[in-house]
Structure 1
Amino acid sequence: MTGETAISRQRRFWDRAAPSYDRQIALFEKIQFGGGREWLGARARGRVLEVAIGTGRNLPHYPADAEITGIELSPAMLGFAEQRATDLGRAVNLREGDAERLSFADASFDTVVCALSLCTIPDPAAAIGEMRRVLVPGGRLLLLDHIGSTWPPIRAAQWLLERITIPAVGEHFTRRQLPLVEAAGFRIVEVERLKAGTVERIHAIKPA
């Protein structure tokens, strides 16, 4: 589509994908990312912002006393997240938004979560910078994503796959978020790299 930006292209893609997303991701998520959402939820505290909340698949795993806000680029995905929150009986502040330009004041949240989304955000460094800005000093950054494998044959296959996925939907398979988190000035608390190095969980702290 002539003149379409990366953001508008992604919004259009995820709006189309929203009705079938949960069904399509469920098995893949169980095999590739099993336990990841529980890992995020166990570390979230206080006022939580989930960036790119999607259909709300993390919502069942947050502590009962956490105050959840979620932003999402796709209105259709946001509609499914709202329904999930209703089904769970959970009060969640959901709004349409762009990860690279968060519409919140500095130091608004105790925890920021982003799961399986920095792989598609056009400027992940900008998004991480925004996550840092809205965190209180001492606040937690919790990330889960697929990244470039430590095993060369798998990484080569990921690179080939990107020749299709980057132009089509902006999805990267060889990115790694950890260097961007470190460059943004976070203190790394935990890093777990799993599945031949293709999955990474990061728990970092914004210095006080």
Structure 2
Amino acid sequence: MGGTAGTNRPDDPTARQRRVWDRAADSYDQQIGLLERRLFGGGREWLATRAHGRILEVAIGTGRNLPYYPPDADITGIELSPAMLAIARQRASTLRRSVDLREGDAVRLPYPDASFDTVVCALSLCTIPDPVAALGEMKRVLVTGGRLLLLDHVGSTWPPVYALQWLVERFTIRTAGEHFTRRQLPLVRAAGFQIVETERLKAGTVERVYATKPAPAPASHE
């Protein structure tokens, strides 16, 4: 799913991502449905049961997480691709869920500091051109103690599978910005989050991360 909005230069990675996901929007649900049954089963439920309060979903895509959130959840979603966002709006309408859905930028989230209790990002940091900046923005909009919940495919712990992923992404990075050996957990730690819970599944190719935003360090007085 799309993650950032930037310039419209033909060689701009963000503009490319928008084009990729706009083209994929109509067939995305069918394609991802098969992968979810084989690889990501239970992942959306895992995210939704840990989300609480004011929830921001970054790169919400076609809104596939919407059926799993608690009925009274206060949900905001941001998405790069207008075509994906249109499907998410239709899904929210069908579910009769009130969701604030906006086209926007994962590395420049249009929200004030400390606006959300939970930030969710599912199957998207693998394609966001600048995941470090995106995680920085997710941290900024979280309240102290707020929850970061991630689900993504990552580099396998089994060397033969990792080698295959590396070969595949020689093509997918160039054509669709899709990374298969990128791992988000080290980036989450480097961003200063506190890790609460992690799981790796399917020969280590799928990872779930639950982290929190710590309180700022007290200012030193010398």
TM-score, normalising length: structure 2: 0.92
CA drift of 1:3 comes to 3.8
CA RMSD in angstroms, aligned pairs only: 1.1
Show structure 2 runs of 5+ residues with no match: 1-7, 216-222
Give the aligned residue type for 1:33: F
CA drift of 1:66 comes to 1.2
From 202, 207, 210, give the equivalent of 1:203. Answer: 210
Aligned pair 1:176/2:186, yes or no? no
Q: Is the 8 A contact 2:198 2:207 kept in 1?
A: yes
Structure 1 runs, 4 residues or longer, greater than 3 Å off: none
- Matching of residues 182-197 of structure 1 within 5 Å: 182-197=189-204
Q: Is the 8 A contact 1:46 1:65 kept in 2?
A: no
Distance 2:19 2:184 in 1: 25
- Matching of residues 2-21 of structure 1 within 5 Å: 3-21=10-28
Aligned pair 1:80/2:84, yes or no? no
Distance 2:56 2:161 in 1: 33
Distance 1:7 1:80 in 2: 20
Q: Is the 8 A contact 2:156 2:181 kept in 1?
A: yes
CA drift of 1:2 comes to 7.2
Identity %: 74
Residue 32 of structure 2: SS of its match in structure 1? helix
Structure 2 counterpart of 1:107? 114
Structure 1 counterpart of 2:158? 151
Show structure 1 runs of 5+ residues with no match: none
Judged with a 3 Å threshold, the aligned counterparts in structure 2 of structure 1 residues 3 and 84 are, in CA distance, closer, same or farther, namely closer
Distance 2:210 2:169 in 1: 27
Residue 203 of structure 2: SS of its match in structure 1? coil
Give the aligned residue type for 1:46: G
Structure 1 counterpart of 2:60? 53
Structure index of larger Rg: 2
Structure 1 counterpart of 2:148? 141
Equivalent pairs counted in the alignment come to 208
Give the aligned residue type for 1:57: R
Aligned pair 1:70/2:77, yes or no? yes
Structure 2 counterpart of 1:132? 139
Structure 1 counterpart of 2:30? 23
Residue 9 of structure 1: SS of its match in structure 2? helix
